[in-house]
Each structure stands twice: as structure tokens, then as C-alpha cells.
Chains A and B, each alone.
Chain A
Amino acid sequence: MAFTIVTQGTFTQPATAVSQNIPLPSGADYFVTTNLTQMALQPSTGVVVRGEWYGGGLTAINDGIRWKKNGTTPFGLQIDTFANAVSPNSASNGFTYVNSFPQPGPAVVGTAITNANPAVVTMTNTFSEGDVVQLFNTTGMLQIAGMAFTISSVSGSGFTLLGLNASGFATAATAVTARKINKMMPVEPRFLYVTGITQATQGVVTVSEAHNYVVGQKIEFSIPGSFGMVQLNNYYLPQNAPPVITAVTTYTFTINVNTTNFTAFAFPLSTQSPVAALFATVASAGQSTQFNPITGVQTGYNFQYVPFHSGNFVPYMYLPAGAQSPGGAANDVIVYQAYKMETGTINSPIPS
């Protein structure tokens, strides 16, 4: 068994293409993707129909060999690398082999965050929809410096923080730095940053990231005095029982605690940083399975999300989405194969 396929498969991109992680338990010496959909079409110039990656450090991060149709008749192939930006080519995202939990990405500097609902960041960036970024150096808005946010409405010049209502902040931020971090923590369910809690019969909690908490999940808050509503901290609650989630949306969840008479939740002033204790957070505290015999609905259990488990399988191959990337564009069918030489590496081959 000299050189063998260690894993292979296909996936079809949804209507909005998303980047893919392909688990590679044994690593790989060679990885190839083929875009079956585009291969059969007459695509626009530059559309990538095949990508290749070599292990052993021969392929740089976010690179690889791309096969793309040249767009002229008869259709031919042009082969270069994803990183090739020499005119008339332009660089596109390629393969990234990840063999340890991803560290924060490079710092990207922006110029503003609006004090609006939702807050909008001005920043020249290459982030993707749904990425999670950690913000810091948020001049004028230091009360969020260090928090992680899921970003949306991403353009090359900025993105929106749907998990942050900054309309109550005294000033907008005049500077910001962002680092992309992994969407999943090493262990899930993870702690989350709280950005708002309503005063209501059943309080509604807003968090900074698109969360995967579920109905029936129990949670515990950690709210410093600088944020107000400390009554949600466990030692204030009757019986010290953890609150239970009763409804969820992407960025919010409702809890079974009447917060009407609690102190209002509010961020401290930017000028209080670094003295004010940050942040308000919430973490998973188990669950309580409930069965309603009338509706026949069971809540409070979800094997996929609630039990503590690893957030990411490592190692894996990251396939970014895009017409000029190995992950392909909307509705593309991609086939991938990973090969490995059993007794040698690409850097020191041993016949076997």
C-alpha cells in the first residue's frame, strides 16, 4: 500500500456557498478537489474546476494549484497557483491544512464602529459572512474591546455586528482592530458574551455571537457590577437554580426568569475601561429534560449541542467557498480526495 486514498467524498454547495472543513484523521500528502458542476459548463474566465494541494509544507497556507478554464473557444485550461496575482491573474483563496486548533488570524485595522443598532464596523477586510472576529483597540468604545462577534452583511469595506445594539453607547468608535477567530471553541457548548438583557416577565438575552444554545438548556450568568443586572448571577436567584432557556433566535434566547424589577443591563462607559470589570458572560450549566404529554413535545435535550464535546475535529482541510476557490460556488458539486503515502512523507519518500 504505497499511496492510497485515505478519505474521499462529495458535497453540494447550498444556495449561499459556505466554506467546508474536511476531517483528515491521518493527515494527507496530497489533496485534490474537482468541481463537477463547473467542469461540464462553459464557465466565466477564471472559474476554478480543479485544485491540488501537496503536503509536507510544499503548499503554502491558503494556496495550492488551481486549474481554471480560460473562457475562450475552444475552452482550454490555465494552470497556476491560487496565490498568483500577476496580471492578468488575480489571487483567490486556496487550500489551508489545519493540524492544530486555529489561533487568531492576523490583525486587521478599521476606522470606525457606529453607535447604532446594530453596530456597523468600517474596515477593509477579506472576512466572510458568518466569520467570528475578536475586536480590540476600539477607541471610544472600549467597553467591547476584547469581545468576539459573529459578523454579517460583510463587504470589502465593513461588516455588521447583529449581536450588538450600540445605540446606548455615548460615542462611536474611531478605531478598531479585528482578528478572525475560530467559529467553534475547542469545547462546546462554549461561554458567550452577553450584550443585552431585557427587563421582562421572561428576560431576553442577546449575545454577541450566533449561538447554538437550545430550548431546555440551563445556563449560568457572570455579570460584573459594572453591567447592572447582577441579580441574574446565581447567588441572587431563588434556590440558586440555573435559569432555563425557553426560546431561541440566532442571537438571542429567552429565559424563565422575571427580570422586570432587576437593575437595567447596560455596558459601562468606554471611559471606565480599563477599570470597569468586563465582560458579562453566560455559560452552559446542563439541561432539564421536560416532556409535555399534551403536546407530546420533549424539550431540553439535544445530543448534538448540549453535552460537552469537542468543537472542532482536528486535523482538517479548509476549503474556502468561491467560484475561484476549491470549495466552489452556489450549487456546485465538489468531489474531494485525500491521499497519503503510508511509510514516507513527500519530503523524504521511502519506497514501500
Chain B
Amino acid sequence: MTFPSGITNINNMAPELPVQASEDLLSTPMFNLIHSFGVDLHHAESYVGKTTRMSRFERLSTEGGQLDGSGIDPASEVPIRTDIDSTMEIYAKSIVTNEQVVLYENSKTLTKFTALLGQWLREKEDLLMRDLFSSSVSYINATGGLNGDQPSNISLNDVNNIENILLGNDARSMLTSLDATRMIGTAGVRDAFIALANTNLCADFQKVQGVLLKSAYPSQEGIRPEEYCSISRFRFFVSSKAAKTPGISLKGNTVYTIPMFGLEAAAKIEQNNYTAVIGYRPPWVVSSVAQNSQLYAKFAIARAITNQNWISGLNVTTFQPS
């Protein structure tokens, strides 16, 4: 009988346990949630239907009005009310987990999966607001860039054109009130409108005349990580999931949509008691032999453009085709 000889090492003596888990989970990727910045939040009551109405009275006419002393009254005016309606919709996601996942190999799945569902909830909400902006707003094609495409890459003239539109429509800038300051953070730049853009445009922002990168703001206090720069009177917030449509520019390049707006341009309506519901269904409910449990998240949301005159924006391409 012979015996193996030599040094015992991990090549001839395989590990009893092949891996060990590090003490912490790695980060789950999450995109910037920017599409509710500057959006009005409303609440829908229960038991009164799924359509929420937001109403606005239009200005009275400033024509005429002078009294001539004859005793004849000026014509009275019927106020105009504009109703903006939005339909409540419910979205949900669930994770069903078999008991063996926990029994054999994983710990604290309830905690981990609950966090995942919570992240889904906010990401989904953000994308729904993005879709509202990309679908239901009029945009102007950028023309001031030099890439020869239609729309062109972004330029200062294009940004100023949108500012003219918003100012001409009496839009209110975002950072003139304390509430707005609390909502999106502030820094030492003048009162501004908001612009929401795709991260692919960051390189082009740096080339725009007069751009003020975030690092150059006079004050760094309270600046949100999603903010990238300030151009003219707009502060640009970026997300990798901001709106883009591939292959539809004049030259067949990706077109990016940048909503640019002031106060009360858009609204998000939350259903009372249904803003963020996360729940757990135990195994004896989900499975007849109590082997599967379920976590779920759901929320109700309605969205609307509440004033088309206080929101505009740009369609742009990138200087380098993308």
C-alpha cells in the first residue's frame, strides 16, 4: 500500500467551503431620480373616482375698462377656467421566494428583497414622470450647435431661446421660494428654471458658452448630486435614464429630449394611502405546503402637464454622434 507524499496544498486538498461572503453586499446600481424635481405634488382622496382634476382660472382681459362718465357700465367678463385632468394608475411588482433559498444558501432575504422593491418603486415612478415629459410637451429642435445635424448639439442660443419662451409666457423660476429651495437644494446661483437631461449630454454641456459647472458654484452647500451644471438661467440635472430616442435625427443619430420648466408646469398626484405600499404574504398564504412567500410593492400615480406655457425644452443630438 502506498501513500501520497509531499506537501498538502489547495491543489491536492480542495477547500471544504469554496467561497466566503464578504461582510457587506455590493451596491445595487440605481439611476438618478430627477423627473419629479420641481413637480407639484397633489393628493387624490379615496372613494371619489380615479380622475383628478386640477383647475386654473385664466387672466381677465386687460382690454378697455375705462369709464367715460356717461353712467354706462363696462361689459362684464365671464372668467375662463381651464381644467387639467389626470387618470390614476396603479403599478406593482412582486418577488416570490422559495423556502429553500433561505434554508440552504441565503440569509436576510426579506430585508434585501424589500430594499430591492423599494428601489423599484422609486425608479418606476421616476420613469413614469419622464414619459410624461417626453410625450406630452412641445419641444424645439436645437439649431445653434455645429454638428450639422437636425436637431443640432446644444448651444447657448438654444438655451436662451427656451428662456425667452418661458419668460414670455410668464413662467416663474424655480428657486425664488423657500419651498423650491427645500425641494431641489440650492446653491449660490441666481433663481433658475430646471432642465432635465441625459447623462450622455454632459460632454456637450461642458462646451456650451457660459456654462457654470457645479464645481464652480459659489456655494456648494445643499447641491444635489444629480445636478451637473448651470447654463444661462437653467440648472441641469442629469440621469442615465432621461429621455432619448435612438436613430431619428436628420442624420439618423439619437435625439435627446430636455424638458425645461418653471414652477407649476407639471404635477404628480398621489392616491391617499397608496403612495408606496410594500407588503409580505407569508408561506402559508402563498403556498399550500407553506414553501413560497411573497414580497410585493405597489403604488398609485397620476401625472399631468398642468401648464404647457411654463414648460418647454429642447431636442438635441450630441456633438459626437451617439
Contact surface of A with B, Cβ cutoff 8 Å: 101, 103-104, 107, 134, 136-137, 142, 145-146, 177, 179, 181, 185-191, 218, 220-222, 224, 233-235, 238-242, 273-279, 281-289, 303, 306-311, 343
Chain A residues near B303 (CB, 8 Å)?
A: 187, 308
Determine whether B169 belongs to the interface, using a CB cutoff of 8 Å to chain A.
yes
Q: Point out the residues of chain A lying under 8 angstroms from B18, CB to CB.
A: none
Q: List 29 A-B contacts (CB under 8 A).
A: A103-B245, A136-B248, A136-B251, A137-B252, A146-B248, A181-B248, A185-B134, A190-B136, A191-B137, A220-B138, A233-B168, A234-B169, A234-B309, A240-B309, A241-B59, A273-B250, A274-B151, A275-B143, A277-B141, A283-B138, A283-B308, A285-B308, A286-B84, A286-B85, A288-B81, A306-B85, A307-B87, A308-B305, A343-B292
The residues of B that contact A306 with a CB separation of less than 8 Å are 85
Selected contact of B135 from candidates A146, A186, A281, A307, CB within 8 Å: A186
Report A-chain residues with C-beta under 8 Å of the C-beta of B208. none
Interface: B240 (CB within 8 A)? no
- With CB as the reference atom, state the residue of chain A lying closest to B81: A288
User: In whole angstroms, how far apart are the Cα atoms of A136 and B141 in the complex?
Assistant: 14
* In the complex, B321 has a CB within 8 A of chain A: no
How far apart sit A275 and B250, CA to CA, in the bound complex (Å)?
Answer: 12
Choose one: A240, A274, A310; the contact of B250 (CB below 8 Å): A274
B170 interface residue (CB < 8 Å to A): yes
Q: Are the CB atoms of A308 and B86 closer together than 8 Å?
A: yes
A residues in contact with B115, CB < 8 Å: none
Contact between chains at B138 and A186 (CB < 8 Å): no
Q: Which residue of B lies closest to A225 (CB)?
A: B161
When the two chains form their complex, are residues A289 and B141 in contact, meaning their CB atoms are under 8 A apart?
no
Interface pairs A-B: 6 shortest CB-CB: A222-B138, A186-B131, A185-B135, A307-B85, A220-B308, A274-B150
Known: A279-B141, A308-B87. A240 touches B170 (CB 8 A): yes
Taking a contact as CB atoms under 8 Å apart, the answer to whether B149 and A308 are in contact is no
Contact pick for B84, options A134, A274, A285, A303, CB 8 Å = A285
Closest residue to A103 on the B side, CB-wise? B246
B24 contacts partner chain A, Cβ-Cβ < 8 Å: no
Q: With A285-B82, A309-B87 given, is the CB distance from A187 to B252 under 8 Å?
A: no
Q: How far is the CA of A52 from the CA of B168 in the complex (A)?
A: 57
A279-B292 Cα distance, complex, nearest whole Å: 54
Which residue of chain B has its CB nearest to the CB of A234?
B309
Contact of B140 among A177, A224, A285 (CB under 8 A): A224
Bound: A286/B80 CA distance, A: 12
Chain A hits for B132, CB < 8 A: 186-187, 308
A188 near B135 with CB under 8 A, answer yes
Q: Is the Cβ of B82 less than 8 Å from the Cβ of A286?
A: yes
Interface centre among B96, B143, B148 (most CB of A within 10 A): B143
Contact yes or no, B248 A238, CB < 8 A:
no
Q: Which of A104, A240, A274, A289 contacts B169 (CB 8 A)?
A: A240
A308 touches which of B56, B85, B249 (Cβ 8 Å): B85
Which residues of A sit under 8 angstroms from B137, Cβ to Cβ? 191, 283
Count of residues in B whose CB is under 8 Å from the partner chain: 58
Nearest A residue (CB) for B167: A235
Whole-angstrom distance between the Cβ of B167 and the nearest chain A Cβ: 9
Chain A residues with CB under 8 A of B150 = 142, 145-146, 273-274, 278
Apart from the given pairs A142-B250, A274-B143, 12 other A-B contacts in the complex at a CB distance below 8 Å: A134-B248, A136-B249, A181-B248, A186-B135, A220-B308, A234-B309, A274-B148, A274-B150, A274-B152, A283-B137, A308-B84, A308-B87
Residues of A with C-beta under 8 A to B312: 222
CB of B31, distance to nearest CB on chain A (Å):
15
B84 touches A241 (CB 8 A): no
Decide: A284 and B136 in contact? CB cutoff 8 A: yes
| Complex Cα spacing A69 to B81, Å | 61
CB-based contact A146/B86 at 8 Å:
no
**A283 vs B98: C-alpha distance when bound (angstroms):** 49
A311 touches B82 (CB 8 A): no
Tell yes or no: B210 within 8 A of A by CB: no
- A residues within 8 A CB of B86? 307-309
Interface centre among A136, A221, A308 (most CB of B within 10 A): A308
A277 touches B143 (CB 8 A): yes
User: Is B16 located at the chain interface by the 8 A CB criterion?
Assistant: no
B 47-91 to A, binary, CB cutoff 8 A, 1 in contact else 0:
000010000101111010000000000000000111111110100
Assembly CA distance A335 to B196 (angstroms): 45
The answer to whether B82 and A218 have CB atoms under 8 Å apart is yes
Give bound CA distance, A86 to B252, whole Å: 33
Residue B255 lies at the interface, judged by CB distance under 8 Å to chain A:
yes
B265 to chain A, nearest CB (A): 11
Contact across chains for B58 and A240 when beta carbons are under 8 A apart: yes
B139 at the interface (CB under 8 A from A): yes
Q: Provide the bound-state CA to CA distance between A5 and B175, in Å.
A: 53
Quote the shortest CB–CB distance from A48 to chain B (angstroms): 32
Contact with A along B267-303 (1 / 0, CB 8 A): 0000000000000000000000000100000000011
